[in-house]
A and B are shown apart, each in its own frame.
Chain A
Amino acid sequence: EAQVTQNPRYLITVTGKKLTVTCSQNMNHEYMSWYRQDPGLGLRQIYYSMNVEVTDKGDVPEGYKVSRKEKRNFPLILESPSPNQTSLYFCASSLTSGDTQYFGPGTRLTVL
């Protein structure tokens, strides 16, 4: 089954404790991206990757890091999480940058 998976689905952590949210897709897609979704603000792109070893900032990259060492994986790293990063996070992938994006199930992060 073609899908985008994220782990963990739920995470509660404390300020400053480094964390990684994994994202994997099995569709051989080149383009992958991370979004956060906040009430009243909609979906905002954090980072995107056009292909392996090619990443770039989206609209709200501050406080986040990403890497793309393999085509299927695109982890999101919060090196020192803060409460304002409490949000619902989605990973997405598409064949290329202009194609339809397929979203993962989401990761609900709470930073205390």
Chain B
Amino acid sequence: EDQVTQSPEALRLQEGESSSLNCSYTVSGLRGLFWYRQDPGKGPEFLFTLYSAGEEKEKERLKATLTKKESFLHITAPKPEDSATYLCAVRGGSYIPTFGRGTSLIVHP
């Protein structure tokens, strides 16, 4: 059974204070690890897809990395508008993706 654990559950940062969110996973035959951003009351918005260990992707202040056991979402110099819940998901051999419970990020001005 595929499993995804995200930590921390909640994170409060000051504007400009860089940090990282963790996504640990176990999956049979990784076919993709996905990061999403979700604002309250809205659908998840796609951020990144990573397929193999060592892969990295960047978008503005966000950078996602992948190892064989975990992925990190690094947030550099965050701004209040980066406040959201960040979701990690993996897709393995089955067609059913497994989502983590998310990390709720609040960035204070």
Contacts and interface: CB of A to CB of B under 8 A. Distances in A.
A103 B95 contact: no
Given A45-B96, A97-B95, A103 B43 contact: yes
B25 interface: no
Interface residues of A, number: 25
Given A45-B96, A97-B95, A104 B87 contact: no
B28 to A, nearest CB: 14
Interface in B26-57: 31-32, 34, 36, 41-46, 49
Nearest to B31: A98
Interface stretch (B58-66, B70-78, B99-107): B99-107
Contacts of B41: 106, 108
Contacts, number: 48
A44 B49 CA distance: 19
B3 to A, nearest CB: 12
B46 A58 contact: no
A56 interface: yes
Interface of A: 4, 31, 40-45, 48, 50, 56, 58-59, 90, 92, 97-98, 100-106, 108
Interface of B: 31-32, 34, 36, 41-46, 49, 87, 89, 91, 95-97, 99-102
Given A56-B95, A97-B95, 12 more contacts: A4-B43, A40-B101, A42-B101, A43-B89, A45-B96, A58-B96, A90-B44, A98-B32, A103-B44, A105-B42, A105-B43, A108-B41
